[in-house]
Amino acid sequence: MIAVRTSVHDCSLVDLPKIHNRAGNITPVNAHDDVPFDIKRIYYLYDMPGGESRGGHAHKQLKQLIVAASGSFEVVLNDGKETRRFYLNHPYYGLLVVPGIWRELVNFSSGSICLVLASEIYNEDDYLRHYQDYLDFIRTGNRH
C-alpha cells in the first residue's frame, strides 16, 4: 500500500537522454539514472485504432514511466480531487506516474506505440480497476 496520499502534482515529465546521430537518434534508459526506480517490467501497447483509449485504473504500489515511443497520445491523471493532462509525442520524454493515481491513456494517433517501464512485475492485486473502488481506497487512507 502507498504510505502517503499522492497527488497528480507528484507526477512529472522526465527528460530522457537523446544521443543525436545523422543515422538516427538513440535514447538509452537506465534505472536510477534516468528512471527513479528499479525497472522490473517493460511492456508496450501498439496496434490501437486511432482515437482509442486504454488504462482506466490506478495502482496501489506500482510506479510507471510512460513514453510515446512512436506517435502521440494523452495521459489523463486524476487523484480524486484534481485532474492533469499530459500530451506525449516525443520518445525522449517520459511521464512518471506514482502510486495512487488514476490514469487513462486517450487519443492515440494511428500507429502509435506506448512504452511503459514499471517498478513491479504484474500483480492483479495491485490494480484498482473501478473508479469508485479507487475513490474508496484513497478516502479510507489506503486501508483495503
Per the CB < 8 A criterion, the answer to whether 104 and 125 are in contact is no
Q: Is position 9 annotated as part of the catalytic site?
A: no
Q: Which of 20, 32, 57, 90 is an active site residue?
A: 57
Cα 119 from Cα 98, distance rounded (Å): 10
What residue type is assigned to position 124 of the chain? E
Per the CB < 8 A criterion, the answer to whether 113 and 46 are in contact is yes
Picking from 75, 114, 73, 94, the residue whose alpha carbon sits closest to that of residue 27 is 94
Catalytic residue positions, numbered: 57
